[in-house]
Amino acid sequence: MSIGFFVTLGTAIALLLYGIVLYNGLVNLKHSVGKSWSNIDVLLKQRHDELPKLVEVCQQYMNFEKDTLARVTAARSAVFAASARADVAQVGAAEATLQRGLGSLFALAENYPDLKANETFRHLRGRISELENALADRRELYNDTVNLNNIRVEQFPDLILARLLSFGPQPLLEFGLEETRDVDLRTLFH
- Window from 31-35, 53-57, 99-103, 114-118 with minimum mean pLDDT: 114-118
Higher pLDDT, 17 or 104: 17
Confidence of residue 64 (pLDDT cuts 50, 70, 90): low
Q: Please determine, for residue 1, whether its predicted confidence score (pLDDT) is greater than 80.
A: no
pLDDT of residue 29: 93
27-50 pLDDT tens trace: 999 999 999 999 998 998 998 888
Would you say the C-alpha torsion 151, 157, 162, 163 has a positive or negative sign? positive
Q: Please determine, for residue 187, whether its predicted confidence score (pLDDT) is greater than 50.
A: no
pLDDT of residue 176: 57
Q: Please determine, for residue 147, whether its predicted confidence score (pLDDT) is greater than 50.
A: yes
164-181 pLDDT tens trace: 988 999 988 876 554 444
The CATH T-level fold of domain 3-188 is: de novo design (two linked rop proteins) (1.20.1440)
The domain limits of the chain are 3-188
